[in-house]
Amino acid sequence: MTALSQFLVESGRVSKVLQVRADPENAVASRPVANRDAESVLASSGSRYATCATLERLPDILAEGEPIAVAMKPCDIAAIRNLQAENERARKLIVCTIALFCGTVPSLEASDDFLARRGLTRNDIVEFRWRGHGCPGPTYARTADGREFEGAYREFWVDNHWTTQFRCKICPDAVGLQADIATGDAWPGGWPKGEDDGWNMLIAHTEVGEHLLADCEAAGKIWLEDSDIEFVSDTQPHHVSLRRALAARLAAGRIAGLPEPNFSDLGLNACAAGLDPDTLAKNFAGTLRRIRAGQGDEAVKADYAD
Ligand SMILES: Cc1cc2nc3c(=O)[nH]c(=O)nc-3n(C[C@H](O)[C@H](O)[C@H](O)COP(=O)(O)OP(=O)(O)OC[C@H]3O[C@@H](n4cnc5c(N)ncnc54)[C@H](O)[C@@H]3O)c2cc1C
């Protein structure tokens, strides 16, 4: 996403890319930024597994009247598409969207726990990266007096709990179907087997995305290899399960009397057709149970690591 975003600003196709970066005043917090050059795009690299008011500056940025790109989570891009459906300025000025595959946005509880295991609190640190110095790279914290702390990717996602929001459990498009380009990790089996050279999976969903990938490769900014849907599914087992189970989860919400989101054109019924009845029933019952328990954030561990 950094390479594509840098290409977009450097080639003059957009005046800025709307992204997310660490809050300079609070190392675990994130804030949206509109980056105008390659250097600031680079400073916004790295997955920030925490909530952020990603689009709060969008109206002001659109008011500047310049073409922009947005490189964020799928739900951010869904909001952009909904805005574009009714707002001509948004249609005209947001010329490219890039979404990362998103398993969920945890609360900061797991990050606080990571720090606490090292005798630290948020107040002690000036830099925090969930990953990023490498692929996946270790979780990393740096204190104001220069002490550095690291933890394995596994420590964060498998050995300890993190939280997931109920809304992410009924997310119809966690894989960026609505973006011009969607990107994910390219780890066979869905889990890193160590560090790699920084490969990503890229899917162009539109002609805008397809041309951007081709132009970016022609300019020597990225290197593309062909892949296929089997590879995508193998690297994203949790997204395959979610897409298949979603119709059952939404049905549970409907029966429990929740207002039903209107999801069209996302292929949910076709996905549900591949689900065995037992799993379908389990997802239906599990969702009803969660709704009755109040839909709060839920502590989970990744269950597909080797
Ligand atoms: C919340 C979250 C969940 C993820 N879940 C999955 C998953 O299920 N499967 C998978 O394969 N990969 C997942 N990833 C990783 C993601 O797919 C990769 O980071 C993506 O492929 C981009 O990699 P990159 O190296 O090109 O990103 P980089 O070049 O490092 O760029 C990262 C981009 O993401 C933006 N960004 C970072 N954090 C946030 C945030 N919290 N909100 C909005 N935008 C943000 C940055 O602004 C930047 O534009 C997740 C990342 C995040 C932040």
Same domain, 210 and 81: yes
Work out the number of other CB atoms within 10 angstroms of the CB of residue 91: 13
Please check whether residue 4 is in contact with residue 222, taking contact to mean a CB–CB distance below 8 angstroms. Answer: yes
| Within a domain: 126 | yes
Same domain, 90 and 147: no
Assess whether pLDDT exceeds 70 at residue 134.
yes
Phi, psi at 140, each rounded to 5°: -140, 135
The stretches of 157-227 forming alpha helices (DSSP H) are 166-169, 207-218
| Within a domain: 263 | yes
Phi-psi label, residue 50: left if phi above 0, alpha if psi -120 to 50, beta otherwise: beta
Task: Report the percent of the chain where pLDDT is more than 90.
Answer: 80
Boundary-marking domain end, from 191, 207, 235: 235
Same domain, 175 and 67: yes
Same domain, 266 and 290: yes
Pocket of ligand 1 contains residue 15 by CB under 6 Å: no
Which ligand 1 atom is nearest residue 98's CA?
Answer: 49
Same domain, 65 and 177: yes
> What is the distance of C-alpha 29 from the center of its chain?
16
How far is residue 185's CA from residue 6's CA, in Å, rounded to a whole number? 19
How far is residue 268's CA from residue 103's CA, in Å, rounded to a whole number? 17
What total of structural domains would you count in the chain? 3
Tens of pLDDT, residue by residue over 58-96, are 999 999 999 999 999 999 999 999 999 999 999 999 999
Segment 111-135 mean pLDDT:
94
Same domain, 22 and 86: yes
Same domain, 71 and 16: yes
Pocket of ligand 1 contains residue 40 by CB under 6 Å: no
Boundary-marking domain end, from 208, 235, 262: 235
Same domain, 99 and 226: yes
| Within a domain: 306 | no
Q: Is the dihedral of CA 190, 220, 44, 266 positive or negative?
A: negative
The stretches of the chain forming alpha helices (DSSP H) are 2-10, 38-43, 58-63, 74-86, 88-93, 109-116, 153-154, 166-169, 207-218, 229-235, 237-255, 268-272, 277-293
Provide the residue range defining the domain that includes 292.
237-300
Rounded distance from Cα 233 to ligand 1 centre (Å): 18
Please check whether residue 278 is in contact with residue 245, taking contact to mean a CB–CB distance below 8 angstroms. Answer: no
Same domain, 24 and 150: no
pTM of the model: 0.96
Same domain, 95 and 35: yes
| Within a domain: 287 | yes
| Within a domain: 166 | no
Probe target for ligand 1 pocket from 100, 157, 223, with the most ligand atoms within 8 Å of CB? 100
Boundary-marking domain end, from 235, 256, 274: 235
3-state secondary structure labels for all residues of 76-88: HHHHHHHHHHHCH
Same domain, 89 and 178: yes
Same domain, 90 and 191: yes
Report the pLDDT value the prediction gives residue 31, as an integer from 0 to 100.
96
Tens of pLDDT, residue by residue over 221-258, are 999 999 999 999 999 999 999 999 999 999 999 999 98
